[in-house]
Structure 1
Amino acid sequence: MYKCFLSVVGAAILAATAAMAGAPERSLRPVLPPVGWQVDDLAPIQIAPVQVASAQLGSSLRPVLRPNALEAQPVKASNTRFQSWIRAFKNRAARQGISRPVLDRAFRGVRYNADVVRRDRNQSEFTKTLWAYLDSAASDTRVKNGKAALRKHKRKLDAIERKYGVDKEVVVAVWGLESAYGTFRGDVPVIEALATLAFDGRRGKFFEAQLLAALKILQSGDTSPRHMTGSWAGAMGHTQFIPTSYLSFAVDFTGDGKRDIWSDDPSDALASTAAYLKRSGWQSGVPWGVEVTLPRGFNYSLANRKIKKQPSAWAALGVRGLGGKSVKNYGPASLLLPAGHQGAAFLIFRNFDAIERYNTADAYVIGVGHLSDRIKGGAPIKARWPREDRALTFGERKELQRRLTAAGFDTVKIDGKIGPLTIDAVRNYQRSIGMEPDGYASLAILKKLR
């Protein structure tokens, strides 16, 4: 959620990454963890562009890199115009049913936050590979902390699992990736951050909608302006909901009359995450995915999210679990090769799609799924990754699309997003030069096109 950011609008490219209803921005300021815990990184996990074999899901809701020529206006001048904008917005919000007392309390002391704009405009493009991301997402430390969180909150997590039918380890894994189990919840005033971003105008309509949703949360009495803090982009709480996703999915699990995702008690946040996944189609007793092996001579064109077969049908084609046996028939599955034929292969099930609703990046979904498996006691991914490879930059991805199209393999769009059309173009180009047609948009492919 930016987790929620990614959830609402969805995307495969993340900037600071985040979340269709979900994946979200995490705090950039470390908070001291509980005594006895270890911290994986001083900065929260950030998701990079990876080769996405799924259907194009739209543009990321996380802020993207802006042209270097764009400079923040002088703070004093911006704040003067900002206060005028707030007055006009208050009138619009009042017409949407927000009471004047709520508006006055919410905007008391709110000023133009130049740091929020700076962060939005100056995010570096992510070039981390999937395997580098997973090294952090499912590191030994993160797994250890996840198991500790599972033990500490066992009673409430068991109750959440019974109510919503979502594996408690998956809920904990989302918590681990979104806020390092509550240690990176963010301390930026959400009203000020969202108002600044709405005023700044790059995605003004989106952030104004989030701001209005945040005001509805305040008007409901779930929290106060002082306690409504989060990331600089407005993602909130233990599992980083953006306001619109909060309104849609947050629950009062403790029964105290408030849906409190901000406090030290994570109960409402964890239950809200489970409720979100349940409403996104989560099925009890079904894995997100299973690592598999492929036979020599496999038809890599079958690695397509649109192609679904029962595991028994995949087994007939030589696709087997790591033990050499057929994967259990959990239902229709697609074959995912996130790093092409040189990396790990997964049969992915409906619960992959449910996590994807929370955050549309394949890297995030695999990260949550694999971390949850490790917390359950599962083993690391067995397959080797092509660690000699690096991720393509945004400019290189656009160049790849231009060169493919010029060579007669039309990608339709030149947008730097590696979606199904680009994957098909890569696959057709690979066939034409005698390479394995796995559709993996690698640096090696770009070099050949050059």
Structure 2
Amino acid sequence: MQKPTLFRHSLGRLVLAGGVIASMLVGQVGAATANSADFVRGLWPAAQAQGVSRQAFDASFAGYSPIKQVIELTKKQPEFTQTVQQYVDRRVTDAQASKGRAMRSEWTQTLGRTTQRFGVQPEIVLAIWGMETNFGGFMGGNNTIHALATLTESGYRADFFRNELLTALRIVSDGHVAPKQMVGSWAGAMGHTQFMPSSFMRYAVDFNGDGRKDIWNSIPDALGSTANYLNAFGWRPGETWGYEVKLPAGFNFAAARDAGKLTVGQWKQMGITRVSGRDFPRSGDVARLYMPAGANGPVFLLLPNFEVIKRYNNSDSYALAVGHLADRIIGGGPFVTPWPAGDYALSKAQRAELQTLLARAGYDVGTADGVIGPKTRAAVMAFQQRQGLAADGHVSGLVLERLK
């Protein structure tokens, strides 16, 4: 799961190298199998130096051979081309919110204790649990040690995965979980709320008091560990993640983009208000403006707790989904402002096409390389202004279609 600058763990979310390297690794699996015994023997001194017992080491590698599926999965990371709307809508549903409310009722006492101890609201912990494994419905079917060993032996980010592997062995040796029960994603994320082994060592807690930190079989341990993680990264108790807001007519998008973060009071001076009609509770909170679909979709002011959620997964889409699911669990409704119809995310090739079309129209975008930087955004804003559109600089399918 987590690390201070987070290496993403969850299924389908790991950012990996190009397909050529992954394809080479697949071809190496057969050869690596013959050398697996040497690989395991060579790992023992380092494991022993980290305090891993011989018994735990041998039990962990019983029946080990490289898992071909793990290597196959490293090359199945498509370019991320979902819009934020698609990402959120697929994860925050009425059914998921209803399940979250049922889990809140079932685990009320445990969640109350996590809030008392760590200051994190129950709905946030529940939302992460729901996002990561569907409330424990799918924690990944891989033997964590064998998956990490496969990645290490095959040479894929070997230093990173070797350290995670040695840490996983230490977790087994310390008696927190049996090797066969240490299951998780192909990339090593484990348990109900998907901790990487290194994060387990830093932040997992024995919340049920049985002497083990068991995020696989103990829901209290998993929920308490998640709350401890968020607390460790600066969760502000009693505060929310952000607000859905509305922009005034004639809003200065360029000034907002240049400003970056301002106090809520300063955003109010620019005419921003909450869609609920209620006032902001603390005008001194520092927030940033987030327009995931541009000015014509839902708009948000994001508070410090939003950035803490991103320490779990460094993605605005993920943090927005967690925050929204949390709000739905406690009775909130869908976003007030609808998402714009017909919009779509751009592939790198489409982004380069957009830049090319802007350049042909006389706008300075620099190199048409598919990377959206300040020049491209400024060009989009200028194009939007010329077209009589909200000059928000949002790069999307709707802008590309206008340019064609």
Residue in structure 1 matched with residue 135 of structure 2 by the alignment:
181
| Range 136-145 or range 122-131, more displaced | 122-131
- Please say if residues 381 and 392 of structure 2, whose CA atoms lie closer than 8 Å, have aligned partners that are also in contact: no
Which one of 333, 354, 357 corresponds to residue 311 of structure 2?
357
Q: How big is each residue's C-alpha offset from its partner over 1:417-440, in whole Å with a ceiling of 9 and x where there is no partner? A: 65xxx2x23331124335344232
Residue in structure 2 matched with residue 426 of structure 1 by the alignment:
376
Pairs within 5 Å for 1:332-351: 332-351=286-305
Q: How big is each residue's C-alpha offset from its partner over 1:313-335, in whole Å with a ceiling of 9 and x where there is no partner? A: 21221100113443221611111
Pairs within 5 Å for 1:175-254: 175-254=129-208
- Please say if residues 185 and 237 of structure 1, whose CA atoms lie closer than 8 Å, have aligned partners that are also in contact: yes
- Please say if residues 82 and 344 of structure 2, whose CA atoms lie closer than 8 Å, have aligned partners that are also in contact: yes
Cα distance in 2 for partners of 1:89, 1:401 equals 50
Secondary structure of the residue that 2:177 maps to in structure 1? coil
Instruction: Say whether 1:271 aligns with 2:229.
Output: no
Aligned residue pairs, count: 396
Give the C-alpha shift of residue 237 in structure 1: 0.4
Are residues 105 and 135 of structure 1, via their aligned partners in 2, closer, same or farther at CA, if it must alter by over 3 Å?
A: same
Q: How big is each residue's C-alpha offset from its partner over 1:370-413, in whole Å with a ceiling of 9 and x where there is no partner? A: 000010101110112123011112443466578879964348x9
Cα distance in 2 for partners of 1:69, 1:170 equals 36
Are residues 439 and 431 of structure 1, via their aligned partners in 2, closer, same or farther at CA, if it must alter by over 3 Å?
A: closer
Are residues 125 and 428 of structure 1, via their aligned partners in 2, closer, same or farther at CA, if it must alter by over 3 Å?
A: closer
Residue in structure 1 matched with residue 280 of structure 2 by the alignment:
327
- Listed as ranges, the gaps of 5+ residues in structure 2 are none
Cα distance in 2 for partners of 1:286, 1:65 equals 40
Cα distance in 2 for partners of 1:306, 1:268 equals 41
Residue in structure 2 matched with residue 63 of structure 1 by the alignment:
16
Which one of 326, 329, 332 corresponds to residue 372 of structure 1?
326
Cα distance in 1 for partners of 2:52, 2:78 equals 37
Give the C-alpha shift of residue 64 in structure 1: 5.3
Secondary structure of the residue that 2:267 maps to in structure 1? helix
Instruction: Say whether 1:393 aligns with 2:347.
Output: yes
Cα distance in 1 for partners of 2:45, 2:371 equals 39
Percent of aligned pairs sharing the same letter:
38
Give the C-alpha shift of residue 447 in structure 1: 5.7
Aligned-pair RMSD on alpha carbons? Answer: 2.6
- Bigger share in helix: 2
Residue in structure 2 matched with residue 283 of structure 1 by the alignment:
236
TM-score, normalising length from structure 1?
A: 0.81
Are residues 400 and 258 of structure 1, via their aligned partners in 2, closer, same or farther at CA, if it must alter by over 3 Å?
A: farther
- Please say if residues 308 and 332 of structure 1, whose CA atoms lie closer than 8 Å, have aligned partners that are also in contact: yes
Give the C-alpha shift of residue 364 in structure 1: 0.4
Are residues 306 and 262 of structure 1, via their aligned partners in 2, closer, same or farther at CA, if it must alter by over 3 Å?
A: farther
Q: How big is each residue's C-alpha offset from its partner over 1:276-307, in whole Å with a ceiling of 9 and x where there is no partner? A: 11111110121101000001110113444963
Cα distance in 1 for partners of 2:166, 2:22 equals 31
- Please say if residues 229 and 236 of structure 1, whose CA atoms lie closer than 8 Å, have aligned partners that are also in contact: yes
Are residues 333 and 154 of structure 1, via their aligned partners in 2, closer, same or farther at CA, if it must alter by over 3 Å?
A: same
Are residues 258 and 405 of structure 1, via their aligned partners in 2, closer, same or farther at CA, if it must alter by over 3 Å?
A: farther
Secondary structure of the residue that 1:326 maps to in structure 2? coil
Secondary structure of the residue that 2:194 maps to in structure 1? coil
Q: Which has the higher contact order (CA 8 A, sep 6+)?
A: 1
Give the C-alpha shift of residue 198 in structure 1: 1.3
Cα distance in 2 for partners of 1:237, 1:302 equals 44
Cα distance in 2 for partners of 1:178, 1:199 equals 27
Question: Match for 1:359: what amino acid?
Answer: N
Are residues 402 and 254 of structure 1, via their aligned partners in 2, closer, same or farther at CA, if it must alter by over 3 Å?
A: farther
Instruction: Say whether 1:116 aligns with 2:116.
Output: no
Which one of 1, 7, 24 corresponds to residue 9 of structure 2?
24
Residue in structure 1 matched with residue 34 of structure 2 by the alignment:
80
Which one of 383, 388, 404 corresponds to residue 337 of structure 2?
383
Are residues 377 and 260 of structure 1, via their aligned partners in 2, closer, same or farther at CA, if it must alter by over 3 Å?
A: same
Give the C-alpha shift of residue 92 in structure 1: 3.2
Are residues 102 and 304 of structure 1, via their aligned partners in 2, closer, same or farther at CA, if it must alter by over 3 Å?
A: farther
Residue in structure 2 matched with residue 292 of structure 1 by the alignment:
245
Question: Match for 1:361: what amino acid?
Answer: S
Q: How big is each residue's C-alpha offset from its partner over 1:21-60, in whole Å with a ceiling of 9 and x where there is no partner? A: 6x5324xxxxxxxxxxxxxxxxxxx66xxxxxxxxxxxxx
Cα distance in 2 for partners of 1:96, 1:283 equals 35
Are residues 225 and 434 of structure 1, via their aligned partners in 2, closer, same or farther at CA, if it must alter by over 3 Å?
A: closer
- Listed as ranges, the gaps of 5+ residues in structure 1 are 10-19, 27-45, 48-60
Are residues 82 and 121 of structure 1, via their aligned partners in 2, closer, same or farther at CA, if it must alter by over 3 Å?
A: farther
TM-score, normalising length from structure 2?
A: 0.89
Secondary structure of the residue that 1:238 maps to in structure 2? coil
Cα distance in 1 for partners of 2:21, 2:228 equals 41
- Please say if residues 404 and 425 of structure 1, whose CA atoms lie closer than 8 Å, have aligned partners that are also in contact: no
Pairs within 5 Å for 1:435-450: 435=385, 436-446=390-400
Cα distance in 2 for partners of 1:290, 1:165 equals 20
Cα distance in 1 for partners of 2:244, 2:47 equals 49
Are residues 299 and 449 of structure 1, via their aligned partners in 2, closer, same or farther at CA, if it must alter by over 3 Å?
A: same
